[in-house]
């Protein structure tokens, strides 16, 4: 399974308006009297005025949001002046308990401002943005009072693992970018000190991570105890500096020396202090089980499910039943394939894809998806490999979302660690590239007229889409026996579904490791202790992470199945994909009504 934890890396440090949205209802619009013929132009003028004000409202919100962090700012927009932004925030943000509590107050204020607009007087696109914002606010307000349940430090997707890679990919467009980069990098020790103070607050409240989770974080941190002059941050910095044409050789040399000094005096000490601080707190986290074992753990898990999946299901229990149903359907389909073609199982240990090199794979995918997906504008990509020193602490592959005004430039990272050598690169690059993250982001960014929507992150939409098309790629002309491709696709979905199902069992229903082992052994013949331990610990340390992938996939598959059932031979896969892509990142609670409207339109026009 491919974990693409960097697809929204630019929002790693932002707390406000960056997560998937709740399955909450849009408030009823304010009533509007039917205009008389004499008053029609006045009514229309009022509509136009409100639409203009709504645009101003979202523009202000966009500028405020990307100004919370210098990293978010730079990864969001390459040319700030084009949006009226002149000052780059030279901070990594404010990660403090006080700031989190203030966010709840800010959300209430934002809700008041939002509800001053009448959705009926907005354009179709504006109404969708309104619904997304309202849903987001309602979701995030349910976490009020549970701020200390947030965990910024986890082994693979935590701040300490991701932030250095963002620095390595911080683009230098001019001299000012170099200065801003060095200023931001020099604040990393202060930023990590904030996080450490927050972890101390968690410890006092009895909510600190278990010793096993802390040990995983410590190992992640150790990967960044680097020799400045031999580090990937020095190498990538030097490469970016050398590419600038507006610097003299002397200036370039001076910047390189300054970078080494910042790495030595700020970056490395930041990780040493974090290691010392986490080590000192070990032993204070007494819960080795999931969230359900904490006082408000079940309530917080409900919040995480709604926030991270934006599911259209109204409860964790109903979502669990939907997951079980989807897994069962995949198992049934897999069984039918093996029944019709028993010899297909003989190929499981010997199969290979036709293409194995990244560029060949991406070119093949790009050419084959034309029949089922709309065309993209011109764009390019660069495939990079994770630095060897970081292979053990990062995911198998990830995609970096480009700035909204430079969507043409895309970067995909591949992790060459031996533990990922059995992962199929073909389907991994379908997930990250075409028609996955790269394709979806370029499509939306090239069409979006609303900057705010372009920066909002909805994990279940993006990861659900990427998971859906990853499975789709198994069925392409890729060198596999068609039956084997279908079998592998179903098997991949089943595996991810099991993780999502167990996530609920462990973090919501309170299963311990023994119950988890019994389930895996009874139903899936998984009896190796190390495998059970890995699955259990991963779900305890990263609640709802796998659900982002699977629930998004589940919601898309359910919409597709409904469309096929209702439209029958009128169903057009390309039109369905176009609908999802045009709707863009949003919670499925908001997408589902849009889907029903689209389905009705398809019935009428076909």
Confidence class of residue 603 from pLDDT cuts 50, 70 and 90?
A: very high
Q: Where are the beta strands (DSSP E) in 33-150?
A: none
DSSP readout, 180-196? HHHHHHTTHHHHHHHHH
φ, ψ for residue 145, nearest 5 deg: 90, -10
Q: Characterize the bridge pairing of strands 409-414 and 397-400.
A: antiparallel
Q: Residue 411: in which H helix or E strand, if any? A: strand 409-414
The answer to whether 471 touches 424, Cβ cutoff 8 Å, is: no
Of 476 and 229, the structure prediction assigns the larger pLDDT to 476
Triad 219, 70, 112: Cα angle to 5°:
110
**Mean pLDDT, residues 95-102 taken together:** 95
Percent of the chain whose predicted confidence (pLDDT) is above 70? 93
**Mean pLDDT, residues 205-218 taken together:** 96
Quote the CA–CA distance of 342 and 322 in Å, as a whole number.
Answer: 29
φ, ψ for residue 502, nearest 5 deg: -65, -30
Cβ neighbours of 4 (radius 10 Å): 27
Tell me the β-bridge partners of 410: 381
Q: Is the pLDDT of residue 478 over 50?
A: yes
Quote the CA–CA distance of 477 and 368 in Å, as a whole number.
Answer: 8
3-state secondary structure of 539: helix
Confidence class of residue 18 from pLDDT cuts 50, 70 and 90?
A: very low
Confidence class of residue 606 from pLDDT cuts 50, 70 and 90?
A: confident
Quote the CA–CA distance of 60 and 16 in Å, as a whole number.
Answer: 14
Confidence class of residue 419 from pLDDT cuts 50, 70 and 90?
A: confident
pLDDT at 4: 31
Q: Is the pLDDT of residue 353 over 80?
A: yes
- Taking only the tens place, the pLDDT of each residue in 101-124 is 999 999 999 999 999 999 999 999
Q: Is the pLDDT of residue 81 over 50?
A: yes
**Mean pLDDT, residues 2-19 taken together:** 29
pLDDT at 155: 87
Strand 409-414: give its sheet, edge to edge: 380-385, 409-414, 397-400
Confidence class of residue 9 from pLDDT cuts 50, 70 and 90?
A: very low
Name the residue among 250, 152, 272 with its Cα closest to residue 207. 152
- The end-to-end CA distance of the chain, in Å, is 38
pLDDT at 595: 98
Sequence ranges of the domains in the chain: 1-24+38-150+288-606, 159-208+211-284
**Mean pLDDT, residues 225-249 taken together:** 94
Environment class of residue 339 by beta-carbon count within 10 Å: exposed (0-12), middle (13-18) or buried (19+)?
Answer: exposed
pLDDT at 34: 35
Q: Is the pLDDT of residue 498 over 80?
A: yes
φ, ψ for residue 203, nearest 5 deg: -60, -45
Name the residue among 486, 200, 205, 225 with its Cα closest to residue 334. 486
Confidence class of residue 421 from pLDDT cuts 50, 70 and 90?
A: confident
- Taking only the tens place, the pLDDT of each residue in 434-467 is 999 999 999 999 998 899 999 998 999 999 999 9
Confidence class of residue 12 from pLDDT cuts 50, 70 and 90?
A: very low
Q: Is the pLDDT of residue 422 over 80?
A: no
Q: Is the pLDDT of residue 304 over 60?
A: yes
- Taking only the tens place, the pLDDT of each residue in 120-154 is 999 999 999 999 999 999 999 999 999 999 999 99
Environment class of residue 467 by beta-carbon count within 10 Å: exposed (0-12), middle (13-18) or buried (19+)?
Answer: buried
Q: Is the pLDDT of residue 37 over 60?
A: no
Please state which CATH class domain 1-24+38-150+288-606 belongs to.
Answer: mainly alpha
Residues 6 or more apart in contact with residue 272 via CB below 8 angstroms: 225
Percent of the chain whose predicted confidence (pLDDT) is above 90? 85
Confidence class of residue 393 from pLDDT cuts 50, 70 and 90?
A: confident
DSSP readout, 335-397? HHHHHH-GGGGGGTTT---S--SHHHHHHHHHHHGGGTSPPPPS-EEEEEE--GGGGGGS-SE
Pick the range with the lowest mean pLDDT from 25-29, 186-190, 512-516, 525-529: 25-29
Quote the pTM value.
Answer: 0.91
Cβ neighbours of 81 (radius 10 Å): 8
Looking from the CA of 445 toward its CB, the CA atoms found within 13 Å total 24
- Taking only the tens place, the pLDDT of each residue in 153-181 is 998 899 999 999 999 999 999 999 999 99
């Amino acid at each position: 399974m491919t974990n693409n934890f960097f697809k929204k890396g630019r929002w790693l440090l932002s707390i406000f308006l960056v997560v998937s949205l709740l399955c909450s209802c849009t408030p009823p619009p304010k009533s509007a009297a039917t205009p008389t013929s004499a008053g029609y132009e006045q009514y229309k003028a009022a509509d136009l005025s409100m639409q203009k004000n709504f645009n101003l409202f979202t523009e202000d919100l966009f500028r405020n949001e990307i100004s919370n962090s210098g990293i978010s700012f730079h990864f969001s927009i390459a040319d700030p002046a084009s949006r009226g932004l002149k000052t780059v925030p030279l901070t990594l943000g404010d990660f403090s308990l006080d700031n989190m509590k203030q966010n709840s107050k800010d959300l209430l204020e934002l809700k008041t401002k939002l509800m001053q607009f009448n959705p009926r007087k907005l354009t179709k696109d504006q109404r969708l943005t309104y619904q997304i914002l309202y849903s987001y606010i309602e979701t995030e307000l349910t976490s009020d009072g549970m701020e200390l349940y947030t965990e910024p430090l986890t082994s693979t997707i935590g701040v300490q693992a991701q932030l250095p890679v963002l620095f390595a990919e911080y683009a230098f467009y001019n001299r000012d970018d170099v200065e801003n980069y060095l200023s931001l990098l020099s604040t990393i020790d202060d930023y990590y000190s904030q996080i450490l103070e927050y972890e101390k607050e968690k410890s006092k409240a009895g909510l600190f991570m278990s010793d096993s989770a802390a040990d995983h974080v410590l190992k992640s941190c150790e990967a960044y105890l680097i020799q400045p002059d031999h580090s990937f941050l020095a190498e990538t910095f030097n490469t970016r500096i050398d590419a600038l044409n507006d610097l003299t050789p002397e200036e370039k040399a001076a910047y390189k020396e300054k970078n080494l000094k910042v790495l030595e005096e700020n970056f490395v000490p930041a990780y040493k202090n974090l290691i010392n601080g986490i080590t000192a707190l070990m032993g204070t986290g007494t819960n080795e089980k999931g969230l359900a074992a904490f006082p408000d753990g079940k309530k917080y898990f409900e919040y995480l499910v709604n926030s991270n999946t934006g599911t259209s299901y109204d409860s964790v229990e109903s979502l669990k039943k939907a997951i079980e149903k989807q897994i069962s359907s995949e198992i049934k389909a897999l069984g039918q394939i093996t029944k019709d073609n028993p010899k297909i199982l003989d190929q499981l240990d010997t199969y290979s894809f036709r293409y194995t090199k990244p560029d060949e794979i991406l070119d093949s995918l790009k050419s084959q998806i034309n029949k089922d997906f709309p065309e993209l504008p011109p764009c390019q990509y660069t495939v990079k490999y994770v630095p060897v020193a970081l292979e053990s602490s990062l995911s198998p592959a990830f995609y970096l979302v480009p700035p909204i005004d430079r969507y043409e430039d895309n970067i995909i990272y591949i992790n060459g660690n031996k533990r990922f050598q059995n992962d199929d690169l073909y389907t991994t690059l379908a997930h990250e590239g075409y028609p996955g993250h790269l394709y979806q982001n370029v499509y939306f960014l090239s069409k979006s007229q609303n900057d705010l929507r372009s920066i909002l992150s909805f994990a279940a939409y993006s990861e659900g889409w990427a998971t859906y098309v990853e499975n789709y790629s198994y069925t392409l002309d890729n060198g596999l026996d068609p039956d084997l491709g279908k079998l592998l696709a179903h098997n991949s979905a089943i595996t991810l579904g099991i993780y999502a199902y167990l996530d609920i069992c462990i973090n919501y229903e309170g299963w311990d490791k023994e119950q988890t082992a019994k389930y895996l052994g009874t139903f899936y013949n998984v009896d190796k202790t190390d495998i059970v331990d890995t699955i259990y610990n991963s779900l305890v340390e990263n609640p709802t992470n796998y659900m982002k992938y699977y629930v998004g996939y589940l919601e898309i598959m359910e919409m597709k199945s409904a469309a096929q059932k209702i439209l029958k031979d009128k169903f057009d896969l390309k039109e369905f994909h176009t609908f999802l892509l045009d709707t863009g990142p949003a919670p499925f609670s908001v997408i589902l009504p849009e889907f029903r409207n689209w389905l009705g339109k398809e019935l009428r026009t076909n």
